[in-house]
Amino acid sequence: MIVSSVNHQMFRKPLNKDLYKSYLEEYLLRERPFLTPGFSLLDMSLQTGINVPTLSALINREYGMNFNDFVNQFRVSFFKDLIRDPEYHQWTLEAIANKAGFNSRTTFIRAFTKFADCSPSEYLRYVKLNTMVA
């Protein structure tokens, strides 16, 4: 289980969906719990203080995706940030994916293709080409 310093008091009483969304997004960007392989809906619930059914419904209704896709889009974004850093150009795609929280090569490739509209290797070529030109 992941321990976090998130303020659980914010969600003791029902709040509107926009407050839940902004809190959830801030929590994910600040705490980066998605970097932990195996991060689950229950982990997120325990860390945010939002009960599992409310959290699941929020993600499904407001983001139009299930929990795994929701978390994987943050992982893909983090992967893209890492791969733009020349320090990571010597790393394998799989090693960078692991650093971004993916624990399966297949899941990584599937998620990356879904959220980036290209394969990880195509994206790497694009980044390297644009780095060399700049």
The string of pLDDT tens digits covering residues 77-97 is 999 999 999 899 899 999 999
Range 15-21 average pLDDT: 80
Task: Please report which confidence band the pLDDT of residue 10 belongs to, taking 50, 70 and 90 as the band edges.
Answer: very low
Question: Would you say 17 and 60 are in contact if contact means Cβ atoms under 8 Å apart?
Answer: no
CA distance 28 to 32: 5
Task: Count Cβ atoms within 10 A of the Cβ of residue 7 and give its class: 0-12 exposed, 13-18 middle, 19 or more buried.
Answer: exposed
**Looking at residue 89, what is its pLDDT?**
85
Question: Would you say 71 and 34 are in contact if contact means Cβ atoms under 8 Å apart?
Answer: yes
Q: Look up the pTM and report it.
A: 0.85
